[in-house]
Chains A and B, each alone.
Chain A
Amino acid sequence: MRLVEIEDLHVSFSQHDGLVQAVRGVSFGLDTGESLGIVGESGSGKSVTCAALLRLLREPPAKIAAKTLSLGGHDVLAANNQAISSLRGRVAAMVFQDPMTSLDPVFTIGDQIAETIQAHRKVSKKEALGEAVALLRRVEIKNPEAVVRFHPHQLSGGMLQRAMIAMALSCQPDVLIADEPTTALDVTIQAQILQLIKDIQAETGMGLIMITHDLGVVAETVDRVVVMYGGKVMETGPVEAIFEAPLHPYTKALLNSMPGQVAGKRRLVEIPGASPNPSNPPPGCPFHPRCPIATIECRQIVPPLETVGAGRQVACIKVA
């Protein structure tokens, strides 16, 4: 089943000094049980894309337009607030980078998980708390009976992120959207949380969207990759193909610039310049000012995302 379908999504924000075009024509989809990585740098539009999918943006200043924007078969753009609320958590649940700001400091972990459960199902508080303990145990928190009574400040960053995952799982969502879930964590804790997410996905068969700036996280966790830059999709494909034979010059440059891939102290391959300014994106291909193979045409033509093989698409007139 098609869990997520995004076609030609545009998201802009009106600001006092003009319009910020955060997402400029993004399309991708997700099937049941599939895991998708959306990789991009700050300002690439990867988080805004998923926030738009769950209608988490305040409108206005945000303005969302799309040919198709559907979640679990429901038209997200046409849905009213009540309908959207019933999709959130049940069809798609989200885990964010900073669990400390996503949790309420004055309520216990158990209360907050129970609240989510009761918002979607008619169960007693006692039953909901019992489920919260089971969920905390599922995310491998030791001594869940005690932790359920803890307040957020009593938990470490890694435990908080586990609690957030427990909360996201509480309504058995069809798709879990994780936005940089491990970026604030130490490297060993990151590896544990990624392992946990993979295990739960394998066990429940839910879909997974992993939003990250880290190619390492993508290489470790997902089946398929969408590479974003300047509010657009540069390339999509199966994870192995993307890493083995990247097509888009941006994907190639990103992979080449990764430090520490070989032994020895050395200069790294840089990508010259800086990411595009979303209130004043360059004409044509957003990557052309930094692209080693760009020509005058790349300034003039906005490259369409073209299919170039099994499950692969690339937006580059020099490659496609």
Chain B
Amino acid sequence: MIRPPRLLFLSLVLLAGCGVDRTPAAPATQGAQDWFVERAQDTGLDFVHVNGMSGEFYFPENMSPGVGLLDYDNDGDLDVYLVQGQMLGPVNITGQTLKGRLFRNDLKVREDGTRTLRFTDVTDQAGIDAREYGMGVATGDFDNDGCVDFYLTNFGPNQMFHNLCDGTFADVSRQSGAGDPGFSVSASFVDYDRDGWLDLYVANYLDYSIAKNKPCSRLAGERDYCPPVVYIAQMDRLYRNQRNGTFVDVTARALAGGVVAPALGLATADFNGDGWIDIYVTNDNQENLLWINQRDGTLRNTALLAGVALPASGRAEASMGVDAGDVDNDGDEDLFMTELTGEGHNLFVNDGSGLFEDQSLRSGLGPRSLPYTGFGTAWLDVDNDGRLDILTVNGTISAIEALRRANDPLPYHQRKQLFRNLGDGRFEEITDRAGAAFQASEMGRGAAFGDLDNDGDVDVVVANDAGRTRLLVNQIGNGKHWLGLRLAGTRRDMVGARVSVSRKDGSTIWRRARADGSYASAHDPRVLAGLDDSVEAPDVRVVWPSGRVEEWTAVPGDRYTTLTEGTGRRAANR
């Protein structure tokens, strides 16, 4: 039963290649109370992922795709890059070569504030030719020219696309020296050495190829996907930006003392509060890594003593998607990561020094997620009440018994989950209130979070495996007040910058500009801070990745403001 009938799958692949949606559709009726509405197709974000599934249980089939948000044309709204798969195995029976697609956001905002989202496929005119079996996306302006570039992780050689600032990209994979040949899933542009240039961390998975594919089975002998332990893990790679459009692999020196493990997700942030960006990596069924920046070009893995290598149970879990955020508004970065069915997602709360407590059970996030296999995830303040909530997109990697009994050809789909932060360390599941889009059962993998309609709340693009991309438009966030910030250096977004937003009532919330996290996906690098019912313009303090601290007073709310490094009032770090 777990092995899908081959002919059925081939037909699905052929249909998907022709743009026909065969995935279970979201319920058609969507109520006015829904927190999110699904609007991908009617905004032109029309994309169906093909995973190349042929019944041979090739590893990448159930692990992709990711999705990236980037304002590639600098017109102030987020465009979308969607990762595509390929047929796997010796024969491409579709006769087609599939490619990842770039969709330009042609957002129109009228004077009365109403807005229309519209996406146009500009892949070909942008000169993007991404024909590898895609896994994920990372975004960042690696040459500081003011135009965001992007990096594709692939099952096969990775690709680096340089934004030429004229609406087109050049494939500089070979010239850049960062075309990692392995099986990569997530990546992140991060300025780990504080030289003002974005370096690149690539999370590598397994030493796997179609030729090396091994037959694995469930206990009773039914064919199934192999566990990762069947293959040898690959070392992650850290590439240092040489400031001339090229990167050099500094893994051996910079990541010495680490372990080789099958990496799936990563999040970069200053976890120990020393002003230097650190890197957290989730590994599949092995200990996770916390690379603490040693401020000398090297990083040291401290995950075990820090309490984030393993959950409190001591048993390694499948950790996939991950995000860092200040969930308890105490000024440090906490960690959340998604796990396999039966493991429960994990919340690790930071004490400010880089030591964490496993609060998965107490928060309710662990027990409530037990039936789900989570991938893409992020902290987001759904309702702009000033507290970070959490959303996960789900879908199993092993067939769900009830679905295979019903002869479902893709018996891996699950609905998403949304949890609201109650402010006392606990979370309440509000999936049922989140809207019809949350009832759709799909094979969720990547998820990118950002304000696609620039209305002051966080929307979500969900990349489904062997299915249609979903655009979840937030309907409730801008019912409260908000502060939107673009944190810029001379030319580019300063990912890694931390922001404290202080309100007149004395309360302070911390947010971070980041494009990484989730699963194989890239987010909106802008910062959105929910102000709840507060109408007063808050004071803002920014800790830049360079270590410089600056303040701005009375930054206006309910709009986006660009804060440029060097233009604020210098302040001491505290």
Interaction A to B: no
Interface of A toward B, CB cutoff 8 Å: none
Interface of B toward A, CB cutoff 8 Å: none
